[in-house]
Structures are given as structure tokens and as C-alpha cells.
Amino acid sequence: MTLIKNYWKIQVIQMKIVIYSKNNCIFCSKAKTLVKNLGLEYEEKSLEKDFGSDPIKLIEDIGKNVRAMPQIKIDGELVGGYNQLVEYFEKKGKVNFKGEIISE
């Protein structure tokens, strides 16, 4: 089990997470909270602050036409929104299907 924990720590160090968000977005807040609770760091890019509320600039930065927020990239790959973020970490055994952290 210790080997698995150490492997996760090594992966975390190398993981670059970017959360694209907007003001008053419940799922944006949930995504940021989930990542924080997993002990991970992330970069936030806000529609209002970083893109001047221009969705075209946001879409160019994401690299895909999206209609919902948040959008999350991990290591340069677009994961998707909050539900896809939960699925991503569920596959890694870090959360359950509800997004609740699995204790080790």
C-alpha cells in the first residue's frame, strides 16, 4: 500500500491542472474544492478575470468549443467538466462515483 501512496505522490507532483471557471458557478466551485481536498494544486483561469468575459478567447485557450463551465485540463488534455473530473479521479481510485474522497 505504501508503494501505491508514493506512486500517487509522484504523479501529483507531475500533474498540471487548469480549471477554467466563471463567477457564480456552483460546479466550478465544486471542481476547485475537489482538487484542493485531494491535496492537489491547480491554476484557475476565470472567464471574467483572464479573458475579459470574451468567450471566444476562452474557447481559443481551451482548444475546443465548449458550452458549459467548468472545463478542466490535466497535463494539457481536456478532461471536461465537473462530472468528468470525478470520473477521472474515480478511475485512479481517489474518489467514489459521488466525488467523495476515498480514505486510504
Distance CA 60, CA 5 (A): 37
Range of the domain at 61: 12-91
Q: Mean pLDDT throughout 32-58? A: 95
| pLDDT tens by residue, 48-91 | 999 998 989 999 999 999 989 999 999 999 999 999 999 999 99
Is the residue at 76 inside a domain? yes
Number of domains in the chain: 1
pTM: 0.84
Q: Which residues contact 39 (CB under 8 A, 6 or more apart)?
A: 12
Tell me, what's the pLDDT at 92? 93
Is the residue at 99 inside a domain? no
Is the residue at 7 inside a domain? no
Question: With bands split at pLDDT 50, 70 and 90, how would you rate the model's confidence at 104?
Answer: low
Question: With bands split at pLDDT 50, 70 and 90, how would you rate the model's confidence at 103?
Answer: confident
Is the residue at 36 inside a domain? yes
pLDDT at 47 over 90: yes
Provide the CATH number for the domain around residue 48. Answer: 3.40.30.10
Q: Are strands 17-21 and 43-46 parallel, antiparallel or unpaired?
A: parallel
Is the residue at 1 inside a domain? no
SS3 of 23-80: the string is CCCHHHHHHHHHHHHCCCCCEEEEHHHHHCCCHHHHHHHHCCCCCCCCEEEECCEEEE
Distance CA 31, CA 13 (A): 19
Is the residue at 78 inside a domain? yes
